[in-house]
């Protein structure tokens, strides 16, 4: 479905000496995302996630490399590509002077949908995201969670095969976040390929078939969340060290318990999770 080969993005910027130099934000990225997959793109701030999404959605031109959707090259087939994709941005970018229904109508017209098709699809999608009763409300009146659901509905208006979600649940409370998760799972069941970026590591762990971890523009890990956890160790021993919470990974609970008995502090033994993998591989905590 999505094939990325040797993708590079460089920007010119001024260094500490105020001289122009090139900064590589995405460095030789290679990925193959399968049809119908929920694929997560993880990494610390500045890792290149959003830049990658911008290149995949044709908002930023790559410095070099290839992006292909179903064998079609983005460099030569952008109009056809844009019909395949839907984008849910980080920012809430509705027309604030329009109602929920009017915002959906505007987006449908931009996709040159016929009147009857527009009417039916808008009703369908607002029911899908549980906003049918807000169709005549100004978007300013919606809560943060409702706006996020409306962003998803708007992105699906033209029946895209691929949906890009850039931080889809940022700043939402846990209950609303889980409703968005249910929507993403439902899209997955309907064979929409989903690519998401998130700083909520548990979100990727619960949703994604596979995740790619970027650090300083380079791909450093790619696998299912379960396989990545097993790669660093199935069990974690944690304890309070002098200035921080320390930890060690082990493949078996027995080995973890044996080590914990040697630590001169209260310890916790638990199963490893994707956030442990993230910190171990990047050396950085989430949002850092």
List, for residues 30-78, the tens digit of each pLDDT value. 999 999 999 999 999 889 999 999 999 999 999 999 999 988 888 887 8
Residue 162 · residue 195 · CB < 8 Å: yes
The answer to whether residue 6 scores a pLDDT higher than 50 is: yes
Return the pLDDT at 288. 42
Locate all alpha helices (DSSP H) within the chain, ordered by sequence: 49-56, 78-84, 100-110, 115-128, 144-155, 174-189, 201-207, 225-232, 253-260, 274-282
User: Spelled out in words, what is the top-level CATH class assigned to the domain 2-227?
Assistant: alpha beta
What's the rounded mean pLDDT across residues 167-185? 89
Distance, CA of 88 to CA of 269 (rounded, Å)? 39
Domain ranges of the chain: 2-227, 234-282
Straight-line distance from the first to the last Cα atom of the chain, in angstroms, rounded to the nearest whole number: 32
Q: What pLDDT score does 252 carry?
A: 96
User: What's the pLDDT score for residue 287?
Assistant: 47
Least confident of 77-86, 202-211, 216-225, 244-253: 77-86
pTM for this prediction: 0.90
Most confident of 66-70, 89-93, 185-189, 258-262: 258-262
pLDDT, tens digit, 9 for 90 and up, residues 132-147: 999 999 999 999 999 9
Query: What confidence score (pLDDT) does residue 175 get?
Result: 87
Of 211, 264, 255, whose CA–CA distance to 233 is shortest? 255
Whole-number pLDDT of residue 90: 87
* d(C-alpha 183, C-alpha 34), whole Å: 20
């Amino acid at each position: 479905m999505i094939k990325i080969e040797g993708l590079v993005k460089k920007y010119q910027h001024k260094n500490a000496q105020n001289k122009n130099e090139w900064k590589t934000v995405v460095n030789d990225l290679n990925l193959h995302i399968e049809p119908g997959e929920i694929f997560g793109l993880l990494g610390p701030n500045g890792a290149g996630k959003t830049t990658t999404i911008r290149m995949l959605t044709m908002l930023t031109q790559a410095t070099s490399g290839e992006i292909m959707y179903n064998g079609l090259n983005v460099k030569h087939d952008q109009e056809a590509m844009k019909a395949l994709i839907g984008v849910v941005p980080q920012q809430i970018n509705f027309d604030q002077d329009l109602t929920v229904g009017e915002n959906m109508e505007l987006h449908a017209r931009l996709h040159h949908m016929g009147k009857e098709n527009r009417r039916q699809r808008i009703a369908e999608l607002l029911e899908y995201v549980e906003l049918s009763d807000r169709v005549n409300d100004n978007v300013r009146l919606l809560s943060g969670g409702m706006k996020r659901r409306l962003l998803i509905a708007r992105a699906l208006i033209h029946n895209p095969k691929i949906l890009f979600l850039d931080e889809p649940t940022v700043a939402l409370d846990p209950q609303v976040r889980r409703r968005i998760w249910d929507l993403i799972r439902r899209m997955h069941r309907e064979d929409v390929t989903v690519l998401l970026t998130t700083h909520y590591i548990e979100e990727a762990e619960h949703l994604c078939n596979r995740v790619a971890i970027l650090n300083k523009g380079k791909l450093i890990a790619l696998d299912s969340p379960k396989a990545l956890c097993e790669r660093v160790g199935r069990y974690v021993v944690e304890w309070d060290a002098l200035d921080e919470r320390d930890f060690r990974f082990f493949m078996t609970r027995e080995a973890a318990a044996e080590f914990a008995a040697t630590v001169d502090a209260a310890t916790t033994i638990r199963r490893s999770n994707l956030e442990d993998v993230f910190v171990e591989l990047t050396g950085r905590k989430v949002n850092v």
